[in-house]
Chains A and B, each alone.
Chain A
Amino acid sequence: MTTNPPSGNVRSRRLAALADSWRVYRAERGGVLGLAVLVCAVLLAVLAPVLTDSAELDVTGVDASALRPPGAQHWLGTDESGRSVLLLTWWGARMSLLVGAAAAVLSMVIGTVVGLTAAHFGGWVETVLLRLTDFFLVLPALVLAIALSTVLSRGLFTIVLAIGVTSWPQTARLVRAQTLTVETRPYVERARALGGGHGHVLVKHVLPSVLPLVFATTTLTVASAIIAESTLSFLGLGDPSRISWGAMLKSAMDTGAVTAGAWWYLLPPGIGIAVVVLAFTLCGRALETVLNPRLRGGAE
């Protein structure tokens, strides 16, 4: 009976904090714009199977001529096999967003675990983990990703793995730094003094205060993961059975769309990548502002 009011308190306090953060976030015009773009993009991507007919992506099912310029029937023209570029771009967004998000989550998980463990335990654990981080940090990520996706069999999972495994060191470094600061705070010390074990301290106290920062970095990681996915697909290392923006650019390049002057085949996926990446970057920056009062303008 004494537990209810405090937990209610906690909840309302958290809600208030959230509302406060949202207020700060809202003040960032770029962040709001990025969020709006992202919500649109994700909605469109998720609803693609409902709003469009996937049968039109089947090369054997279409009969339009190849590389036709934009017109009334095909708003963004057609590709080398007569499919609508608009439809391809639309469906390509699914793959790019999915791989971007999945790879970023994977890299976030690895980075957070490594960073937390290294900072919390210190000693030889820290030394080993940090050297490992350094190793991945100095290795050119793209080259490593190319090597990985060449060795492993082609597929969605491979590309997520290749990007995720190569992009976690920054997160790990960041998390470690933040953990070190958090762990010196008195309330963590008090938790320890009261007999809190490693698990308790890490999960109940350190992680919650590190997480917001992790989210902000992850948002930025998604952006670079999308670019990495496009690059790998453009180099022909993506999942060949799925449509993605990078794969579209590759087919355009291979069929000679540049010579044919088929700008409608090159621009949509290119602009798609640029817009989504920009949106993620804007959101990530805005989130940083919310978390870091020093970046905030005028409010304080």
Chain B
Amino acid sequence: MGVRSAGVRPSFPRAAATVVIAGLLLPVVLAPGALSANERGDGSGQEGEATLRVGIQQEFDSLNPFLGFSRAATEVFRLIYPTLTTYSSEDFSVVPELATDWESSRDKLTWTFHIREGVKWSDGEPVTAHDVAYTFDRMMTDSAAATANGNYVDNFAEVSAPDDGRVVIRTETPQATMRSLAVPIVPEHVWSEVDDVAGFANRRMPIVGSGPFEVTDYRPQQSLTLEANEDFWRGAPTVDRLRFVNFENSDAAVQALRKGEIDVARKLTPAQFDALKGAENIERVKGKGRRFYELVLNPGAANSAGDPIGTGHPALRDVRVRKALDRAIDRSELVDRVLGGHGTVGAGYLPPIFRKYHWSPPDDERRSFSLEAADRALDEAGYPRGPDGIRRGPSGRPLDFEFVLHGDSSTDALVGKFVKEWLSGIGVEVSLQPVSDNQVNQRTTAGDFDMVISGWSVNPDPDYVLRLQTCGARPNPGGGGLPDSFLCDERYDELYARQLAEFDRDARVELVKRAQGRFHEMATGLILFYPNALEAYRSDRFAGFERQPAERGVITAQQGYWGYYRAEPTERARTAGGGAGYRSAAFVIVGVVLLGALVVFSASAHRRRTAEHRE
């Protein structure tokens, strides 16, 4: 046996090498195949019909408009449910939608909305003032129905519909946001049969709605399909079908865009955006962002009862420490190096896309980047360096902060690395803790962080995000609540209340700016930058999209349905299929053949070997 098996031994390294080579080849062979598996459903439906396919990287948290608040879900609600008013695509000004006009009483406490006539639900029933009253009423009486948009009805005293054409809303105190109630209106005849809102998934297809589109098919984690509503009161949409296609990561979406399997890809990383430059048949859109990207410093979290919660570091309760940390962060370096220049350096709370409300600290309040100044400020505040170079607080506890990041975000990862390095330069230790998005939310709400990354998309009316910093946004002892930086400051709250009750536009802008100034002064949330929204679309299938705002705006995730509603399909989009790639099919076949060959080869080698062993 010994002699004969002599020929066998060298096949060990050879077999191992084969395996390694196969391992190296595998991704190359499989990648195009794996991506083509993402072509969900058909390319383009029937001949002559245009389908707009949008790649998304977020799940629909719920199709129930009372519950869903993810960006993906609210975008769908805007497409299928009416709202009283909407924002124009031109410049975010408030324009009529379901309500044709509205008036308020002299004391600004009673509002009357006139409902558009002749609008129908997709099952043929008319849309009336009773549906509107029912929707608000449900949110006021059923706490589950207030989950997503409860903030709009907090201050409502009574909602009634005296006839089919009028809705009357009385508020407790004057409320400046009455013209922009972004609440999806639902059909009463469908929803009055729903007893348990919290448990209702709203998955009966087609979903009864009354927007430019109608949801007809939903496959969780795959796609959501909407058909055009030909009877939409503003006129039928320009495309016949709209489909949101789920992707696990943005690289897969971009590859699908390149191959023509989807028409629009969004939330591109700077590297992807730059790589698509000059790509054939692909047009890039760099929109001004509606988002701010914020580094929250835990100022001593407390719940709505005022009891301290969470594990925040005591040193961060000292505003001098928070200000010193702010000076140790180089925002322009972050925009250059993390965003690749695709963003704006952070200043006030509201992004510059809303020119009126945007505020920048004046020169004497600005905390410009200077490690020396930050170092000195910490020395003066009484946080001397210990023997290991780490600063100690009055209690002797070292300044070592836990920095919670979104684990899947490359932006967070990079920002974390930069901040860690800068802060280590001023004697502050930072340990990075990338966790899942859910855990970030949980830990933020529970106050279990020293530093955490946060960020919100701002509505044209800034009330929603301004409210996040008030005492009222702190979590309830029993759970719930949507806190951001746990700033609970008397002066800020006073400015917030005054802007909400102020109906003179200029006076309100002034109050909003003063509130931002106070927020900046307290330094609980450091606005690092406003990232651009990076999108790309197939220019061979779509000639263009309506952007919001018209100047340097975005085409998806708008405040309204304009981008999808007025997409401009080309002749090619109506005639050709979605380019479902014969090439990718070829890749798959070649890959399978190669793999098969490998398997056969190694199996026969194995059989030969064992045969020789047996002898």
Residues 492-505 of B, flagged 1 when their CB comes within 8 A of A and 0 if not, give 00000000000000
Closest chain A residue to B251, Cβ basis: A258
Closest chain A residue to B430, Cβ basis: A241
Assess the A278–B340 pair: CB atoms within 8 A: no
Assess the B434–A259 pair: CB atoms within 8 A: no
A60 to B414, CA, bound (A): 10
- Tell me which of A236, A241, A282 contacts B407 (CB under 8 A): A236
- Tell me which of A33, A259, A282, A285 contacts B276 (CB under 8 A): A259
List B residues 418-433 near A (Cβ within 8 Å): 418, 420-422, 431-433
- Tell me which of B255, B274, B275, B409 contacts A254 (CB under 8 A): B409
Residues of B within 8 A of A300 (CB): 2
A242 to B274, CA, bound (A): 28
A9 to B417, CA, bound (A): 59
Given A240-B433, A259-B272, A298-B3, is A81 in contact with B337 using a C-beta cutoff of 8 Å? yes
A260 to B5, CA, bound (A): 50
Task: Check: A139 CB closer than 8 A to any chain B CB.
Answer: no
- Sort chain A's interface into a size bin: 35 or more
Assess the A281–B414 pair: CB atoms within 8 A: no
Residues of A within 8 A of B269 (CB): 254-256
Assess the A60–B271 pair: CB atoms within 8 A: no
Assess the B272–A260 pair: CB atoms within 8 A: yes
Task: Check: A296 CB closer than 8 A to any chain B CB.
Answer: yes
Assess the B251–A67 pair: CB atoms within 8 A: no
- Least CB distance from B264 to A in Å reads 15
Residues 8-24 of B, flagged 1 when their CB comes within 8 A of A and 0 if not, give 11101100110010011
- Least CB distance from B412 to A in Å reads 10
A80 to B274, CA, bound (A): 12
Which label, helix, strand, loop or mixed, suits the secondary structure of the B interface?
A: helix
Task: Check: A203 CB closer than 8 A to any chain B CB.
Answer: no
List A residues 248-266 near B (Cβ within 8 Å): 251, 253-262
Assess the A297–B8 pair: CB atoms within 8 A: yes
Task: Check: B332 CB closer than 8 A to any chain A CB.
Answer: no
A81 to B339, CA, bound (A): 10
Closest chain A residue to B403, Cβ basis: A240
Closest chain A residue to B254, Cβ basis: A259
Assess the A282–B13 pair: CB atoms within 8 A: yes
Closest chain B residue to A295, Cβ basis: B9
Residues of B within 8 A of A277 (CB): 20
Assess the B2–A296 pair: CB atoms within 8 A: yes
- Least CB distance from A264 to B in Å reads 13
Residues of A within 8 A of B268 (CB): 256
Task: Check: B249 CB closer than 8 A to any chain A CB.
Answer: yes
Task: Check: B318 CB closer than 8 A to any chain A CB.
Answer: no
List B residues 257-305 near A (Cβ within 8 Å): 258, 268-272, 274-276
Residues of A within 8 A of B5 (CB): 297
Residues 13-55 of A, flagged 1 when their CB comes within 8 A of B and 0 if not, give 0000000000000001110010000000000000000000000
A236 to B405, CA, bound (A): 11
- Least CB distance from A54 to B in Å reads 12
- Least CB distance from B20 to A in Å reads 5
Given A59-B418, A241-B432, A256-B254, is A30 in contact with B410 using a C-beta cutoff of 8 Å? no
Residues of B within 8 A of A33 (CB): 13
- Least CB distance from A155 to B in Å reads 9
Closest chain A residue to B415, Cβ basis: A59
A255 to B268, CA, bound (A): 9
Task: Check: B333 CB closer than 8 A to any chain A CB.
Answer: yes
Residues 269-293 of A, flagged 1 when their CB comes within 8 A of B and 0 if not, give 0110010011001100100010000
Assess the B271–A262 pair: CB atoms within 8 A: yes
Assess the B408–A254 pair: CB atoms within 8 A: yes
Task: Check: B250 CB closer than 8 A to any chain A CB.
Answer: yes
- Sort chain B's interface into a size bin: 35 or more
Residues of B within 8 A of A80 (CB): 271, 410, 414
Task: Check: A205 CB closer than 8 A to any chain B CB.
Answer: no
Assess the B2–A251 pair: CB atoms within 8 A: no
Residues of B within 8 A of A281 (CB): 16
List A residues 134-175 near B (Cβ within 8 Å): 153-154
Which label, helix, strand, loop or mixed, suits the secondary structure of the A interface?
A: loop
Task: Check: A128 CB closer than 8 A to any chain B CB.
Answer: no
Residues 64-76 of A, flagged 1 when their CB comes within 8 A of B and 0 if not, give 0011000000000
A299 to B405, CA, bound (A): 59
Given A253-B249, A256-B275, A259-B254, is A66 in contact with B407 using a C-beta cutoff of 8 Å? no
Task: Check: B6 CB closer than 8 A to any chain A CB.
Answer: yes
Assess the B16–A282 pair: CB atoms within 8 A: yes
Residues of B within 8 A of A82 (CB): 337
Assess the B271–A67 pair: CB atoms within 8 A: yes
A59 to B276, CA, bound (A): 26
A274 to B3, CA, bound (A): 33
Assess the B333–A60 pair: CB atoms within 8 A: yes
A81 to B3, CA, bound (A): 58
Closest chain B residue to A293, Cβ basis: B2
Most buried by A among B10, B255, B413: B413
Residues of A within 8 A of B338 (CB): 81
Closest chain A residue to B13, Cβ basis: A30
- Tell me which of B3, B255, B270, B333 contacts A258 (CB under 8 A): B255
Residues of A within 8 A of B330 (CB): 60
- Least CB distance from B538 to A in Å reads 15
Given A82-B337, A240-B433, A282-B13, is A259 in contact with B413 using a C-beta cutoff of 8 Å? no
Assess the B2–A297 pair: CB atoms within 8 A: yes
A258 to B433, CA, bound (A): 26
- Least CB distance from A150 to B in Å reads 8
List B residues 294-342 near A (Cβ within 8 Å): 330, 333, 337-338, 340
Assess the A253–B251 pair: CB atoms within 8 A: yes
Task: Check: B416 CB closer than 8 A to any chain A CB.
Answer: yes
A259 to B249, CA, bound (A): 12
Assess the A270–B434 pair: CB atoms within 8 A: no
Assess the A59–B337 pair: CB atoms within 8 A: yes
Assess the A260–B10 pair: CB atoms within 8 A: no
Given A256-B269, A297-B6, is A261 in contact with B417 using a C-beta cutoff of 8 Å? no
Assess the B17–A278 pair: CB atoms within 8 A: yes
Assess the B271–A255 pair: CB atoms within 8 A: yes
- Least CB distance from B451 to A in Å reads 14
Assess the B251–A251 pair: CB atoms within 8 A: no
List A residues 80-94 near B (Cβ within 8 Å): 80-82
**A274-B24, A285-B13, A300-B2 provided; 15 other pairs, C-beta below 8 A?**
A58-B421, A60-B333, A61-B421, A80-B414, A82-B337, A236-B407, A240-B413, A240-B432, A259-B251, A259-B254, A259-B271, A259-B275, A260-B271, A297-B5, A297-B6
Residues of B within 8 A of A (CB): 2-3, 5-6, 8-10, 12-13, 16-17, 20, 23-24, 31, 249-251, 254-255, 258, 268-272, 274-276, 330, 333, 337-338, 340, 405, 407-410, 413-414, 416-418, 420-422, 431-434
Interchain residue pairs with CB less than 8 A apart (16):
A29-B10, A58-B421, A60-B333, A66-B271, A67-B271, A80-B410, A80-B414, A154-B433, A236-B408, A240-B413, A240-B432, A254-B409, A256-B268, A256-B271, A260-B271, A297-B6
* The 7 residue pairs across chains A and B that have the minimum distance between CB atoms: A30-B13, A256-B272, A254-B410, A260-B275, A297-B6, A256-B269, A60-B421
